[in-house]
Structure 1
Amino acid sequence: MATMWPRLLPAAIRAESRRAAEIRVFDALAAQLGPGWTVFYSRPWLGETASGAEIDGESDFVVAHPDHGVLFIEVKGGAISYDPATDRWTSRDRHGISHTIKNPVEQASKSKHTLLRKAQAERGWPRGHFRFRHGVIFPDVKAVPQHMGPDKPRELFATRPELDHLADWVAQRLSGGNDDALGPHGMRVLEQLLARPIKLHSPLAYSSADDDEAIENLTPQQFHILNAFEDLRRVAISGGAGTGKTVLACEDARRLAAAGQRTLLTCGSAQLAEHIRLVLRDSGVEVSTFSELATRLGTEAGILAGGTTPRSEQLPEVVFDSLAARADLAYDAVVVDEAQDFTPSTWVSIDALASRSDGATLHAYFDSNQRLYGELRSHFDAYMLLPIRLSRNLRNTQNIHDATQRFYRGPGLIADGPLGAEVQWLACEDGQIERTALGEVRRLINAESVLPEDIAVLSPSAATLGRLATSLQDEVYAGLTFSTITDFKGLERRFVIILATRELSDAPELAYVALSRARAHLTAVGPVEVLDWLRTDAPRA
């Protein structure tokens, strides 16, 4: 049996009625031509006119043999007519409808000459004069007149009766002459020309950028929620990871400040506070961690000596006492991000920050993951905060959202983002985590065109991060983020690599935070047991 390109015709091709004639020829050539023959179906080409203009065309079939040569075949179905007065060819289908068609002889001949020139330009094309011929098949025509013109002799055509002996017609078209044999080497070059496999790499940076753009377009859709509670002074907005709480908190604070209110946005993480400062620069919003806030208020109120930094357990008391001594230090509006991280004693002082003036605003944004943070509704009810729930994940791709949900127990969330790339689980021995992560960072930057500033490497502890950062000190890696998972709360990157050490498997809160930080691409590197725990949320063996 001949070697066919393609090996099998797809069902979609066979279902096209307009290809019925070509399919009949394809099956006949496949069944009748023996070993050594190669048949290429539907080979398009791009050529040039004498003036250099581009022209395109297609050869319905190219039939080749190392000893006999190459035959270019054009196939036209239906009843065929040619009017020399207008030089017009037509085909009439079974329904009696006529269609203007191109000159099949000219098409076959042009394909022959164009592809011969292209073959000669290929590296390795053998020297010699090889048999390149052309022909036309009319599968729905009974016979062709003996003479159709000097460029259209009878032997150039095959019709319906010849289909049962198509191999004989092919052999006849390639007979005669003293041409050189193409040989196996020439066949290989011809195959490279007409059936060259193509594999063009699409860097991961491109697809992730598309996913990220879709996510960026989704995020502002949450802003309508701000309109819904803009007249409510005291609200608690809850949502799982990816629901846009930090984005909303920033926009909320911006609007409050724009309305003329002295506005504070506070959180627990220094890294998150720094990010929010950049987002809200020139907005008039004061952004501060609770520790920074307590130190400043205590100093201004005379509660703390200059340069004194209170211990963490002293912070709520310092804030409360400072407000008691200086009522003017209170704010018109207070927005709290990652509110679930503040202790009940801290909330007493936060409440005081916004309760010393009539109509003061207190908006708290917290994570609704009851598994990790418990039922916070009753806690916020004590401060008369009206609950509002976010139900749509607008930050992560669906695959990343699914990975995160293994550690989420709370009100249902819907992932609106694109499907995205699958989460990568790179298993390695404990001692190979840093080396494997190092290789992944280099692969993303060097092979996948990812920008270093789009990558965050997260770890349960700072020790492993320091060693990894030392290995990536080259300028090409400048902009990479190395952070503990705790410090990266509320933040995100397009690409996140998690160092899944055994410390992580004992901390479901860290796992939840780590898995949800990536917008478009997530990789976890670690021992099989830890990765299995992350993937299945099952106890370690």
Structure 2
Amino acid sequence: MPRVSAAVAEFECWERGSPVAERTQTKSENLIASALREQFGDDAVVLTGLRFTDDRHGDVEADAIVFIPDQGVAIIEVKGGVVEYVNGDWLVRTKRGGRRCHPVKQARGAKHALRSFLERQPEWSGGRIRAEWFVAMPFTSVERDFGPEGRREQLIGSADLPSIRTQIEGVLANPEMPERRPTALEIHLASSLLHASADVRPGFGKSFLRRWGAWLGIMLLLLGGLGFRGIQHFTSRSTGVGVGVGCSPHYVPCVPLRADMDCTQIRHQERVVDKQDPYHLDADGDGLGCEVWPKP
């Protein structure tokens, strides 16, 4: 299997209030990101600026990847300027001139690199999940196919931005696609693996603030007179989770009190004891977190 590693230049779940990521996006990338944010909301996980190193395709960047539970994954290559398909070539024209480009090749390469990365991970048992590439051209009017590779339904033009969600979901719903649809738990695991591989954290959106708020609330209660009863010393067990000084009251067995934790750090199942899940370990709300991992 080809060797693939992943690095995340930007990781955002596109919750309202998220800041601009460190890497400056182009105007076209911002337009696509805004459309995805507004239309998918909390119904999908959107990652931007993922970089992969792939033995087959070399260094690959995915401008946007959308993980949609029970539907599939959309890999989007974004092209600014005015894009044309002339005599078998893709051309992009900007104020600085024109140049050839290969957006379909880039999008396909990113799709392959993402799949290869997931399938290389020992935690991943989901096999090959449904995924498709798209080329987004927010400043280009698209009315037909761009050659034999650029099928109209996979090209997102300027007039398509208000319905980008519908277009993506329509392609992923194709009954002729052989791969199965990923579950919400698999989406959670996939985003966690990409998250952990780059050692980054989500932006300061609602989810992040909820986690910080829960953590700070617990600490204030403890410092306010409840004492440290029930706090256990957390010891790393070859799980990759570092040593902490206390346990969250919301999980059994112990999950250390931190600003943020995820299943790739915990690496075993957790029971949510009071229906409060500040670390968002229980993806399907059944009271059991990190279900794709073994029992402790």
Q: Distance in 1 between matches of 2:127 and 2:60?
A: 26
The within-5 A match list for 1:123-202 is 123-145=122-144, 147-177=145-175, 179-196=179-196, 198=198
Shift of the 194–102 alpha-carbon distance from structure 1 to 2, 3 Å rule, reads farther
| CA shift digits 1:368-396 (9 cap, x unpaired) | xxxxxxxxxxxxxxxxxxxxxxxxxxxxx
2:64 maps to which of 61, 69, 83: 61
8 Å Cα contact 1:38-1:64 kept in structure 2? yes
Distance in 2 separating the partners of 1:73 and 1:198: 20
Q: State the match for 2:14 in structure 1.
A: 4
**C-alpha separation in 1, matches of 2:59 and 2:21:** 26
Which amino acid in the other structure matches residue 150 of structure 1? Answer: P
Q: Deviations over 1:270-324 (max 9, x none)?
A: xxxxxxxxxxxxxxxxxxxxxxxxxxxxxxxxxxxxxxxxxxxxxxxxxxxxxxx
Give the corresponding residue for 2:7.
none
Match of 2:170, SS state, is helix
Q: Which has the higher contact order (CA 8 A, sep 6+)?
A: 2
Aligned match of 1:40: 47
SS in 2 for 1:33: helix
Distance 2:15 2:104 in 1: 23
- Structure 1 length normalisation: TM-score? 0.32
More helix by share: 1
What does the per-residue CA deviation read over 1:199-255, in whole Å, with 9 as the maximum and x for residues that have no partner? 59xxxxxxxxxxxxxxxxxxxxxxxxxxxxxxxxxxxxxxxxxxxxxxxxxxxxxxx
AA in 1 matched with 2:93: R
One-letter amino acid matched to 1:3:
C
TM-score by length of 2: 0.56
**In the TM superposition, what are the counterparts of 1:498-517 in structure 2 within 5 Å?**
none
Shift of 1:27: 0.7
- Paired position in structure 2 for 1:537: none
Q: Secondary structure at the match of 2:42?
A: coil
* Per-residue deviation, 1:42: 0.8
What is the letter of the counterpart of residue 40 of structure 2? L
Counterpart for residue 91 of structure 1: 92
Tell me how far 1:79 sits from its aligned partner: 0.8
Pairs aligned (count) = 187
Q: Who is 1:109 aligned against?
A: 108
What letter corresponds to residue 76 of structure 2 in structure 1?
I
Tell me, in whole angstroms, the C-alpha distance in 2 between the residues paired with 1:197 and 1:8.
21
C-alpha deviation, 1:128, in angstroms: 4.5
- How large is the Cα RMSD of the aligned pairs? 2.7
Q: Deviations over 1:384-435 (max 9, x none)?
A: xxxxxxxxxxxxxxxxxxxxxxxxxxxxxxxxxxxxxxxxxxxxxxxxxxxx
Instruction: Give the Cα–Cα distance (whole angstroms) in 1 for the partners of residues 150 and 192 of structure 2.
Output: 31
Q: Do 2:14 and 2:37's aligned partners in 1 also have CA atoms closer than 8 Å?
A: yes
Task: Give secondary structure in 2 for the equivalent of 1:40.
Answer: strand
Match runs of 1:301-312 below 5 Å:
none
Q: Which runs of 5+ in 1 are unaligned?
A: 201-541
What is the aligned partner in structure 2 of residue 75 from structure 1? 78
Match of 1:23 in 2: 30
1:17-416 equivalent positions in 2, closer than 5 A: 19-49=26-56, 55-84=58-87, 87=89, 89-93=90-94, 95=95, 97-145=96-144, 147-177=145-175, 179-196=179-196, 198=198
Q: Distance in 2 between matches of 1:118 and 1:179?
A: 17
Structure 2 residues without counterparts, runs of 5 or longer: 1-11, 201-296
Measured after TM superposition, the shift of residue 3 of structure 1 is 2.6
Per-residue deviation at 1:4? 2.6
What is aligned with 2:249? none
SS of the residue aligned with 2:146? coil
Write the deviation string for residues 171-218 of structure 1: whole angstroms up to 9, x where unpaired: 112112264231133213311333226559xxxxxxxxxxxxxxxxxx
3-state SS of paired residue (1:31): helix
Alpha-carbon separation, structure 2, partners of 1:7 and 1:13: 17
Distance in 1 (alpha carbons) for counterparts of 2:66 and 2:143: 22
**Structure having the higher Rg:** 1
The answer to whether the Cα contact below 8 Å between 1:90 and 1:101 also exists between their aligned partners in 2 is yes
Q: Which amino acid aligns with 1:90?
A: L
Q: Which amino acid aligns with 1:65?
A: I
Closer/same/farther in 2, CA of residues 3 and 22 from structure 1, 3 Å limit: same
Q: Distance in 1 between matches of 2:166 and 2:126?
A: 28
Q: Distance in 1 between matches of 2:162 and 2:148?
A: 27
**SS in structure 2 of the partner of residue 81 of structure 1:** strand
The 3 A distance-change label for structure 1 pair 126 and 5 is farther
Closer/same/farther in 2, CA of residues 120 and 81 from structure 1, 3 Å limit: same
Identity over aligned pairs, percent: 24
